[in-house]
Amino acid sequence: MNLIDKIKGLAADQFEDSVAIRRHLHANPELSFHEHETSAFVVEKLTEMGLKPEHGIAGTGVVALIEGRNPSKKVVGLRADMDALPIFEANDISYKSKNEGVMHACGHDVHTTSLLGTAKILTALKDEFEGTVKLVFQPAEEKAPGGASIMIKEGVLENPRPNGMLGQHVAPNIPVGKIGFREGMYMASTDEIYLTVKGQGGHGAAPDQCIDPILVASHIIVALQQIVSRNRKPTNPSVLTFGKIVGLGATNVIPNEVKIDGTFRNMNEEWREKGLGLIKKMAETMAESMGATCQFEVIRGYPYLENNPELTRKIRKAAEAYMGKENVVDLDLWMAGEDFAFYSQVVDSCFYRLGTRNEAKGIVSGVHTPTFNVDENAIEIGMGLMAWNAVSELANN
């Protein structure tokens, strides 16, 4: 039997156990940086497979190596995130979240389950491939500064250093049975912007005796919208959105200050820095020209996610062999953030999407919604494909 069929067979054998694991994780979700039980569960499962997991990296992170023949030949890293979101689950299912207000609404239960399944397949086949697979179970994808950035600081990309990193994420907009790829820039850097406009409050009937921060804030918002349209290269994706403005005056009260919160998202690190500088300067000088002040604060999020084109082409080819060419689709740019981006800034990386949608079963809700769910058949595909992608990449020169 060839390797691809062996992997498919092992994934099918493992499927029922994997669904049970996924339901266990789904029912017991934990928030970012608090994945203690999940992490202990992962360690237990890896130990049962005969692996020697190292835990406690970035708090709850777990790393384990599966060594094939000639283990130093090449190293491929496989990443799964383990955290859930602060959402009240609205699904009526037997494995509904038991941890009220916390929900696996981004499919990280599926990612953790799939990588455990992949580990099981690869340990069974370790005499059939050369090189080493590094399993990375990380905390806190959903919360800045991101579990990936801390794991990297704590050395996850060293000893041994992966030649490439692969990550797989559920996709509720792609039908189960299909996989999506995109070469090059894929997801955005995410920075949070907080502006505080300070004026001088007073009676709404006496604006001449005030410095109206509502008016100043309005000018700032309109002016800042021209930064992306006039200063950024048109072929370079960039979004500036202000989703919150708070000025607590009244119909007849001019307030002292107005707060404006927004997000700045990009796919180019140079423009990201330049854009942040322009936003700061324009907000400050616009306020100053109107007699007010504007404080600029930025909380830096994840960098943009770059899918190494050469690695992505190779993994896509492997996926086509596993899934059939007709089941591999192109992904659009997506201006959301993803902390897998940190790995992509250090080593060649490929982040692809696992279809989980099933309209016939009513599984259509988006990630981060209270009714999000997946077609669990995706787990069998996810774990087998990840195993196949890893051994294919190890075999590539």
Residues at the contact surface with Zn ion, assessed by CB under 5 A: 106
Token couple for 339: 């902390």
Using only C-alpha atoms, the chain has a radius of gyration, in whole angstroms, of: 24
Cβ closest to Zn ion, residue 163 vs residue 168: 168
| 128: number of Cβ within 10 Å | 13
Cα separation, 284 vs 211, whole angstroms: 15
Backbone angles phi and psi of 17, in degrees to 5: -60, -40
Nearer to Zn ion, 31 or 245 (CB): 31
74 DSSP assignment: -
Minimum CB distance to Zn ion, residue 367 (Å): 5
Residue 330 CB, nearest approach to Zn ion (Å): 20
Q: How do the residues of the chain divide into helix, strand and coil, expressed in percent and rounded to 5?
A: 40, 30, 35
If the CB atoms of residues 106 and 390 are measured against Zn ion, the closer one turns out to be 106
User: Distance (Å, rounded) from C-alpha 79 to C-alpha 115?
Assistant: 8
Asked if 78 and 135 touch (Cβ cutoff 8 Å), the reply is: yes
Least separation, in Å, of the C-beta of 395 and Zn ion? 29
Min. distance of Cβ 275 from Zn ion in angstroms? 24
Q: Report phi then psi at 318, rounded to 5.
A: -60, -45
Residue nearest to Zn ion (CB): 106
User: What are the distances in angstroms from CA 256 to CA 57, 207, 216?
Assistant: 46, 12, 11
The residue among 157 and 171 lying less far from Zn ion, judged by its C-beta, is 171
Residue 291 or 366 having the CB closest to Zn ion: 366
CB of 368 vs Zn ion, minimal distance in Å: 6
Q: Please confirm whether the linkage preceding 255 is cis (ω < 30° from 0).
A: no
Helix, strand or coil, per DSSP, at residue 183: coil
CB 377, min distance to Zn ion, A: 20
Residue 25 or 211 having the CB closest to Zn ion: 25
